[in-house]
Chain A
Amino acid sequence: MDFNDTQEEAAFRAEAAAWLKDNVPSADELAGLDDIAAAKLWQKRKYDAGWACIRWEKKYGGREASAIEQVIWNQEEAKYSTPGGVFVIGQGMAAPTLMTWGRPEHHERFLPKLASGEEIWCQLFSEPAGGSDLAALRTKAERDGDDWVINGQKIWTSGAHYSDYGILVVRTDPNVAKHKGLSYFFLDMKSPGIEIKPIKQLTGGANFNEVYFTDVRIPDSQRLGEVGQGWQVALTTLMNERAAIGGGGAGVNVDVAYRIASEVMIDDKPAIEDSAVRAKLADWYVQEAGLRFTGYRSMTAMSRGAIPGPENSIGKLVGAPKTQEMASFCMDLLEMSGAIWDENLSKEAGLLQLTYMGAPGGRIAGGTDEIMANIIAERVLGMPQEPRMDKGMSFSEVPTGSN
């Protein structure tokens, strides 16, 4: 038992580290670029050198690397502050779905531009009536010649306003059971009839959108899977949501909390001398270390050829509430001034308040805490699903609320 790379892993790590050292864009290079332009610059540079989407086939821009090499690359890249994030949905979710369900001409046309960052994709799954119960979505598609005509509304679509393409699940048959009446498409986000409205979040920011479809036409050639097979295709997308391995250290962590607790006073003594404070920090340290070493165990399994499974849900289920609790606790340590959110006046330049306000999103996005717990109970522990009221009913008969 050790933490060391195998010889091949070490060689790969060294190669990656050497390339990154010479090629990560400097602050000067990125000056004046907006987030998307900066992300595109970095992605293109990786693509040109064969370091983009490294697990993909070489002909689409990858280097046919192993799962463990992907983790090593992620670790090495994470040592730098590089622009990115806008490609996660396209490369991490749309691309594997295209690879599994798309035709060769789809692969040739779209995968290289996904890898190079030239085209950005978004995901049009959730709806006002279909969140955790995603298959309850209502946006409908009707066949018209070689096209499908889409009407309805999607929600929580990150990056819809700057995306070139989107992956879309719609209802093509309301008269069969919920999961059976869905079909899966991809579409050009510049198609006539699409209207995008930003959603202002409780943080004050606006990172995602509502997307309205009014008679939007999609050619049938952009359907993935058979008509009525959309749920199965969507599962491919959802299974590819990135396994959270080796992450979770950013933002408000034990190091930040320890620093604050060493600087602020309780009864004229550093807060870190207070046994209640020590106990809290110790518990969070146990969680952080536990996630890190769970990641190491997953890496070892991957190194031996295993595929990451549903057990990786644990990262988000532990990490998201922990972030919220830690930000809240650190503000408490500041006592009355914990409320101040001003980069110049507040401790850690407002990181605590920013983290606290963003934390509810972390507990909801990509599967709520409750859904993650269900995944562990059902898919890891083998417990049965809740009985479903809509089982066996055609979708049009399924009861709905006013929302």
Chain B
Amino acid sequence: MNFEFGEEQELLREQARGFLTNHCPPAAVRAVLDGDADHDAQLWEKIVEMGWTATVIPEEFGGLGLSYLELVVIAEELGRAVAPVPFSSSVYLATEALMACGSQEQKEKWLPMLATGEAIGTFALSEGNGRPSVKSLQTRFSGSGLSGRKLPVADGRAADFAVVVAGSDAGDGASWYLVELDQDGVSREAVRTLDFSRGHAVLEFDNAKAELLGGEGAGWGATERLLDRAAVLFAWEQVGLADAAMIQARDYAMGRYAFGRAIASYQAIKHKLANMYVKNTLARSNCYYGAWALNTDSAELPLAAATARVGAIKAAVFAAEENVQTHGGMGFTWEFDCQFYYRRAKLLGVNVGSEGYWQDRLITAYEQNNAA
């Protein structure tokens, strides 16, 4: 049995954690929260310099050609630091979409730029309230351009291009379009979300220039496969966040005294923390499963991804909520950092599909696994 990271990944973790402690302290998150910027541009530049955006991009396209075991380590540390950068949109979604479905030409054009950070990409699926479905897609390509409206699109203002899911009469009912966002046919407005340390936008397409990414009518299957892959990576961010929130709650409880003793000595608080530990541990172990499946392109990926994602959503949201609760009134203030985890946990919890969506996908994958 070797169900653990190797030495190289542990070294990378140490390096990533050290880097983020220096360059992404709570003050950096707070600066984005308090300011007008969509992300921390300086931090993003340094992350690009570290080569993190190039992690899994093959060397022939200017990447480092490393494995997903490296990428999940980076994801966990970014989650722990609540980093205010467009990493998930550009790396877990746009890069993955291009690697999965891009033509040789598209890959040659975009992957090197994604690797070096010259380009930021994002993925545009949601068109508003409710669970996206192939029937609900209003965005369409007709004649010469793409028209429709997507919201919220993470990093929609920072991105240079978006992979847009549009309805189609062919195949599975959807197609992917790669749309450069700096053009007349595209307007983008900031959308305020509950976590404004991460920029979001509404994108309007009016006969926008767009090129097909992958097959016509192959976009819905591609979307589900992309979400499976992204779910594992998001889940790792979530367990990093959950661990950080648990540690913050524990440390505060050790130092906070009430009725003459540390509140960490009350069982009501200890059991809350034990619950966090249990949820975090199960989520982390399931994330190992997800990482293994992603890294080996296993047929179990849909089940592993949903399992990792459901556990990670629960762990992160629980830890973030109960961290505020453990802090009492101080936790409810703007001044305390508990809000970072609270905001981000919920944002991550809906941003590539809600708990309910992934519970449903999990049972579907379980059925398919049993049938196979």
A-to-B contact residues, CB < 8 Å: 1-6, 9, 68, 254, 258, 272, 275, 278-279, 281-283, 285-287, 289-294, 296-297, 299-301, 303-304, 311, 314, 317-318, 370, 372-374, 376-378, 380-387
Contacts A282-B310, A370-B267, A386-B266 hold; do A317 and B278 have CB atoms under 8 A apart?
yes
Interface-side segment among B316-324, B333-341, B357-365: B357-365
Q: B261-302 vs A: 1/0 string, CB under 8 Å?
A: 110111101110111011001110110110110010000000
CA distance A301 to B2 in the complex (A): 9
* Min CB gap B248→A, angstroms: 12
CA distance A2 to B254 in the complex (A): 38
* Interchain CB contact under 8 A, A278 and B359: yes
* Complex interface: chain A residues within 8 A of B311 (CB): 286, 290
* Interchain CB contact under 8 A, B1 and A5: yes
* Interchain CB contact under 8 A, A2 and B2: yes
* Complex interface: chain A residues within 8 A of B3 (CB): 1-3, 293, 296-297, 299-300
CA distance A5 to B1 in the complex (A): 5
* Interchain CB contact under 8 A, A275 and B286: no
* Min CB gap A19→B, angstroms: 21
* Interchain CB contact under 8 A, A311 and B273: no
Q: Which 5 A-B pairs have the closest CB atoms?
A: A290-B282, A377-B270, A282-B359, A293-B285, A373-B274
Return the chain A residue nearest B310 by Cβ. Answer: A286
* Min CB gap A7→B, angstroms: 12
* Complex interface: chain B residues within 8 A of A292 (CB): 285
* Complex interface: chain B residues within 8 A of A283 (CB): 310, 314, 359
CA distance A290 to B278 in the complex (A): 10
CA distance A171 to B285 in the complex (A): 43
* Interchain CB contact under 8 A, A1 and B267: no
B-to-A contact residues, CB < 8 Å: 1-6, 69, 250, 253-254, 261-262, 264-267, 269-271, 273-275, 277-278, 281-283, 285-286, 288-289, 291-292, 295, 306-307, 310-311, 314, 355-356, 358-360, 362-363, 366
Contacts A296-B285, A374-B270 hold; do A278 and B1 have CB atoms under 8 A apart?
no
* Interchain CB contact under 8 A, A373 and B282: no
CA distance A384 to B254 in the complex (A): 8
Picked from B1, B253, B270, the residue with its CB within 8 Å of the CB of A373 is B270
* Complex interface: chain A residues within 8 A of B289 (CB): 289, 293
* Interchain CB contact under 8 A, A291 and B265: no
* Interchain CB contact under 8 A, B271 and A311: no
* Min CB gap B131→A, angstroms: 11
* Complex interface: chain A residues within 8 A of B359 (CB): 278-279, 282-283
Contacts A4-B1, A383-B250 hold; do A376 and B265 have CB atoms under 8 A apart?
no
* Interchain CB contact under 8 A, B282 and A286: yes
Picked from B253, B278, B286, B310, the residue with its CB within 8 Å of the CB of A318 is B278
* Complex interface: chain A residues within 8 A of B261 (CB): 384, 387
* Complex interface: chain B residues within 8 A of A290 (CB): 281-283, 285-286, 307, 311
Interface of A is mostly: helix
* Complex interface: chain B residues within 8 A of A289 (CB): 285-286, 289, 307
* Complex interface: chain A residues within 8 A of B310 (CB): 282-283, 286
CA distance A87 to B342 in the complex (A): 49
Q: List 16 A-B contacts (CB under 8 A).
A: A1-B2, A1-B292, A285-B307, A289-B289, A289-B307, A290-B282, A296-B285, A297-B3, A299-B1, A314-B277, A317-B278, A377-B274, A383-B250, A383-B253, A384-B261, A385-B265
* Interchain CB contact under 8 A, A370 and B271: yes
Contacts A289-B307, A373-B275, A377-B273 known; list 19 others, CB within 8 Å.
A1-B5, A1-B6, A1-B291, A1-B292, A68-B1, A289-B286, A290-B283, A293-B285, A294-B285, A297-B285, A299-B1, A300-B1, A300-B2, A301-B4, A317-B274, A381-B250, A381-B277, A383-B253, A384-B254
Contacts A373-B274, A384-B262, A387-B265 hold; do A258 and B366 have CB atoms under 8 A apart?
yes
* Min CB gap B350→A, angstroms: 16
Contacts A279-B356, A377-B273, A383-B270 hold; do A314 and B281 have CB atoms under 8 A apart?
yes
CA distance A272 to B370 in the complex (A): 15
Return the chain B residue nearest A372 by Cβ. Answer: B274
* Interchain CB contact under 8 A, A9 and B273: no
* Complex interface: chain B residues within 8 A of A317 (CB): 274, 278
Contacts A374-B270, A377-B271, A380-B277 hold; do A278 and B286 have CB atoms under 8 A apart?
no
* Complex interface: chain A residues within 8 A of B273 (CB): 377, 381, 383
* Min CB gap A66→B, angstroms: 12
Return the chain A residue nearest B307 by Cβ. Answer: A289
CA distance A196 to B123 in the complex (A): 70
